[in-house]
């Protein structure tokens, strides 16, 4: 197996859609007292985030309006960013109105801030969303689970290397994605009282 193949497998497995899916389910379980509540908030949160974005992206790929589900060309990302922002705004409002667990609210607010910032940057530059998502996910896991989740840090350099190996990003694009993501998570989760 070549380095390119290993990089592609790593990036395809640890992709933004799957990471968001996993984080939402874990946080729903962690922040609720029953299976029914965890399932309820998982489904609501996924229906307001991953599912609509992935469905639209998949449809646009099928109609050949996007090159792939990970939207590597910078110019193809703008419409998806707008959709993600709309989902995050609606999702956050719904979670606040219906008194969702604060972990989920912090996650949605972090996502909203990140997507707005990434969309602005995307107007003139491209950052690595794969690296941003894995870094944010690892940060959330460590904040919530502490030392038990520290081992997940190994996935950050793995994905950073994969995106560089595939020649889809430059080192500054990978570094910036990771730095912005972890900064947003620490600040927002800190404001919610989960860090300090």
Write out pLDDT tens, residues 119-175. Answer: 999 999 999 999 999 999 999 999 999 999 999 999 999 999 999 999 999 999 999
- Rounded distance between C-alpha atoms, residue 81 and residue 20, angstroms: 15
- Rounded distance between C-alpha atoms, residue 107 and residue 88, angstroms: 10
Residues 6 or more apart in contact with residue 68 via CB below 8 angstroms: 61
Q: What is the pLDDT of residues 13-44, one digit of tens each?
A: 999 999 999 999 999 999 999 999 999 999 99
Q: What is the pLDDT of residues 36-47, one digit of tens each?
A: 999 999 999 999
Are 178 and 156 spatial neighbours (Cβ–Cβ below 8 Å)?
A: yes
Token pair 């502490």: residue: 146
CA dist 138 → 36, 47, 63 (Å): 26, 23, 34
pTM above 0.85, yes or no: yes
Residues 6 or more apart in contact with residue 26 via CB below 8 angstroms: 141, 144
């Amino acid at each position: 197996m070549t380095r390119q193949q290993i990089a592609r497998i790593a990036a395809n497995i640890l992709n933004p859609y799957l990471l968001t899916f996993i984080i939402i389910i874990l946080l729903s379980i962690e922040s609720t007292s029953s299976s029914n509540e965890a399932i309820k908030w998982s489904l609501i949160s996924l229906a307001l985030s991953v599912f609509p974005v992935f469905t639209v992206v998949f449809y646009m790929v099928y109609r050949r309006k996007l090159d792939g589900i990970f939207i590597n060309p910078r110019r193809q990302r703008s419409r998806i960013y707008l959709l993600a922002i709309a989902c995050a705004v609606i999702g956050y409002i719904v979670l606040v109105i219906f008194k969702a667990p604060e972990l989920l609210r912090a996650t949605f607010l972090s996502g909203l801030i990140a997507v707005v910032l990434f969309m602005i940057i995307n107007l003139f530059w491209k950052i690595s969303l794969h690296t941003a998502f894995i870094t944010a996910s690892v940060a959330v896991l460590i904040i919530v689970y502490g030392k038990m989740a520290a081992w997940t840090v190994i996935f950050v350099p793995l994905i950073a290397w994969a995106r560089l190996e595939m020649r889809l990003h430059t080192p500054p694009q990978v570094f910036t994605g990771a730095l912005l993501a972890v900064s947003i998570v620490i600040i927002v989760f800190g404001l919610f009282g989960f860090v300090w």
